Structure 1
Amino acid sequence: MLRLPHETLRQFMKDSFIAVGVPEQDADTCAEVLITADLLGIDSHGIGRLKPIYIDRILAGQISPATTIEVIKETPTTAVIDGHNGMGQVIAKHAMELAIQKAKTYGMGMVAVRNSNHYGIAGYYVRMAAAEGMIGITGTNARPSIAPTFGVENMLGTNPLTFGIPTDEAFPFMLDCATSITQRGKIEVYARLNKPLPQGWVISEDGTSKTNPHEVLDDLVKGKAALLPLGGMGEEMGGYKGYGYATVVEILSAALQQGAFLKALSGFENGQKVPYRLGHFFIAINVEAFTDLPSFKKTTGDILRALRASKKAPGCSRIYTAGEKEYEIMQDRLVNGIPIDEEEKKDILSLRDKFKLPYTFPFENI
């Protein structure tokens, strides 16, 4: 794939957000979250989602480009925020900043959010906490995708449960993944590449596996297909565990803040597009409320290094720990740019032309 410099791509995304009414500072935040996904190699949540998940939804009236954040309830260590259907990245960054601020004073902080939108990679917010010497935890509900164990109806979102932990290495421990085997963004990537899905990722209404990514994306919206939870179908391989964790995230993303949940997050009402009304939660734990930060970082690093040095399986040359691959990909992409696939090129040019943005891209004449 052709690559674009990350600075160019970031500025293009910022300008696109500004073009649809997102204030400049907020547009900068949104672009920063998206380019971080691309730099870390999380291609399902970067430039590929600029048009369909954010710009198109703003134009359809599902997301308010100007974000108003209201604190509904607050204590020294907690807060409940209403995002009033604004930009998810802006709301989420504010919420984690507030959790971190509380943790600096009281050792721990937790903020629950309602009436928000897709906030990009969850890993962005836990990395914020890790950079402050804290353990960060976040989760979000999402439009219905996952079927419960022994079911075929998409009820739960992909509901990531994400952790960021500071270490004495060059990168934090970062576990950012859905509670399903895969997530919509990965299926979107397969669709852009016209590549069939692996067996066992998606289940149809009749209980069989679906592998056509274009059909799956359409059927997920229609409720005719569902993602399987971590562990897969049934109980034999532990599918109930992914289902259970997805439910935990759903509860923490809706019940504490009295927000919407399950089918109410579909983005449709009586056949019409409506706001998604997503909920999130953010937790910051100040390490120094328990022990000194250098000792914590070293112990954490020792654990990770021991795991990577353990005996490899036949044919495998390396063991990774969470966040390591992303760090290495980032080192490459900071220098060599972000890979852009054919569908992303079309979206980039479409937005450029629609908003008359002053960009010329090297792939236009290829």
Structure 2
Amino acid sequence: MSAEASARSRLVVRLDDLRVYCQRLLVAAGLPTADAELVADSLTDAEARGIGSHGVLRTRIYAERLRGGMLDPTATPVLVRDHAGGCLLDAGNAIGHVGARAGVDLAVERAKERAAAVVGVRNSNHCGTLAYFVRRATARQLVVLAASNAPPTMVYYGGRTRAVGTNPLAIGVPNPDGPPLVMDMATSATARGKIILAGQLGTSIPPDWAVDEAGRPTSDPESALRGSVLPFAGPKGSGLAMMIDLLSGGLLAGVTGDEIGDMYDDWTRPQRVSHFFLAIDPDAFLGRDAFLSLVAGFVHRAHGLPPAEGFDQVLLPGEVEETARRSAERDGVLLADTVVRDLEALSRELGDPADLPAVVLPSPSNGAC
């Protein structure tokens, strides 16, 4: 199948089937069942919300790093420092989702006791979308800020070589009348996973996403992956990425920049990623009920503003993804044939061959994806 035809081919898969399938693959790769369930749920949640860059295509790299000894499947995060205002966990090189879950859950627990709590997690790994963990806190009616550093794949503003990660930042606010308001953003012009996905689909990328190895703008995903992604908004994204690197990796572990191992290209050492969580209990400030009432009014006013041309209403953080999730739970998720074939190939490699229970959708007659 040509790259173009493959990019047009789509398969629809029930969300529950996809979750179970990815969990089976991760268990076959050596991850305990409960942790595999967590990771698979995070991957399929991203897929359902339209964030394919952090979706099930990541299953292979997690499985390969488990099998290659780059992750410790039995690691349990350990509390190494406990102060009145903050705690530090050592993830012990666990898969990042396990480290992040432990961090945000402890932040929630301590914020309920102390009004606010900072929890750091060191010696962790890539943890998928931060929004997935932020929602664990908003479900408990807390406000939360999360950040994580990452291996250097992005240039600093004014530079042309890799210097810093696409270090994401997420903020969540509970909403009594609907889904929480959740902003989750990389500090790059795009998530590197989107470039990886474009490469798998055989499609080009916008020229303002990345530069090649010589620092020149490129539309070719393979050249971009050999080069560097660009920060969003120039010096703003660059500066924010720097600060997240210092706030998470520097403050928590003394590990920044190229001291973070690349998940795809570095098979000589653990990643040593760090995650930062700040949880705040509104009850200690304005008051929980008053704050939730304020949020409800805030959302109502925003939705009541005149929409721009082409929009039905003003969109708040996380609403596009929430609409996609509801659709996916009802109708299933669309996966590129390349992603499906990679999952099924991985299944055979792991000695548990099984095809995804999927229905092939006809390719659009006009050739559009």
TM over 0.5: yes
The verdict on how the C-alpha distance between 1:363 and 1:214 changes in structure 2, with shifts beyond 3 A counting, is farther
The verdict on how the C-alpha distance between 1:94 and 1:315 changes in structure 2, with shifts beyond 3 A counting, is closer
| Aligned equivalent of 2:298 | 303
Contact 1:10/1:32, CA 8 A, preserved across alignment: yes
Secondary structure of 1:273 counterpart: coil
1: CA distance, partners of 2:275 / 2:88: 10
User: Is residue 47 of structure 1 aligned with residue 50 of structure 2?
Assistant: no
The verdict on how the C-alpha distance between 1:308 and 1:191 changes in structure 2, with shifts beyond 3 A counting, is farther
Secondary structure of 1:155 counterpart: strand
After superposition, residues 262-281 of structure 1 pair within 5 angstroms as: 262-267=257-262, 273-281=268-276
| Aligned equivalent of 2:224 | 216
Contact 2:70/2:267, CA 8 A, preserved across alignment: no
Structure 1 residue runs without a partner (length 5+): 220-224, 232-238
Contact 1:5/1:337, CA 8 A, preserved across alignment: yes
1: CA distance, partners of 2:176 / 2:302: 15
What amino acid is the match of 2:43? Answer: L
2:75 to 67, 82, 87: 67
2: CA distance, partners of 1:14 / 1:313: 42
Displacement of 1:203: 2.0
After superposition, residues 178-217 of structure 1 pair within 5 angstroms as: 178-217=186-225
What amino acid is the match of 2:136? Answer: M
Displacement of 1:14: 1.3
The verdict on how the C-alpha distance between 1:77 and 1:305 changes in structure 2, with shifts beyond 3 A counting, is same
Contact 2:212/2:223, CA 8 A, preserved across alignment: no
User: Is residue 320 of structure 1 aligned with residue 322 of structure 2?
Assistant: no
Secondary structure of 2:274 counterpart: strand
1:86 to 69, 94, 117: 94
1:12 to 21, 38, 42: 21
What amino acid is the match of 2:172? Answer: G
What amino acid is the match of 2:339? Answer: E
Displacement of 1:312: 3.2
What amino acid is the match of 2:95? Answer: M
Deviation digits for residues 17-68 of structure 1, max 9, x if unmatched? Answer: 111221111112111221221222211111111112x111112222122223
Displacement of 1:127: 0.5
Contact 1:125/1:136, CA 8 A, preserved across alignment: no
TM-score in terms of structure 2 length: 0.90
After superposition, residues 141-160 of structure 1 pair within 5 angstroms as: 141-160=149-168
What amino acid is the match of 1:34? Answer: L
1:103 to 100, 106, 111: 111
RMSD: 2.0
Aligned length: 351
Contact 2:146/2:278, CA 8 A, preserved across alignment: yes
User: Is residue 77 of structure 1 aligned with residue 89 of structure 2?
Assistant: no
2: CA distance, partners of 1:119 / 1:362: 27
Deviation digits for residues 211-241 of structure 1, max 9, x if unmatched? Answer: 1112222x1xxxxx2211111xxxxxxx111
2: CA distance, partners of 1:347 / 1:301: 43
The verdict on how the C-alpha distance between 1:325 and 1:109 changes in structure 2, with shifts beyond 3 A counting, is same
| Aligned equivalent of 2:230 | 228
Contact 1:51/1:351, CA 8 A, preserved across alignment: yes
User: Is residue 137 of structure 1 aligned with residue 145 of structure 2?
Assistant: yes
User: Is residue 335 of structure 1 aligned with residue 325 of structure 2?
Assistant: no
2: CA distance, partners of 1:3 / 1:10: 13
Displacement of 1:362: 4.2
Identify which of structures 1 and 2 has the higher relative contact order when contacts are C-alpha pairs closer than 8 Å and 6+ apart.
2
2: CA distance, partners of 1:168 / 1:31: 28
Identity over the aligned pairs, expressed in percent? 29
Contact 1:112/1:253, CA 8 A, preserved across alignment: yes
User: Is residue 356 of structure 1 aligned with residue 351 of structure 2?
Assistant: yes
Deviation digits for residues 254-293 of structure 1, max 9, x if unmatched? Answer: 122224210111339x975321111111111111111332
2: CA distance, partners of 1:278 / 1:11: 27
Displacement of 1:190: 1.4
What amino acid is the match of 2:348? Answer: D
Structure 2 residue runs without a partner (length 5+): 1-9, 362-369
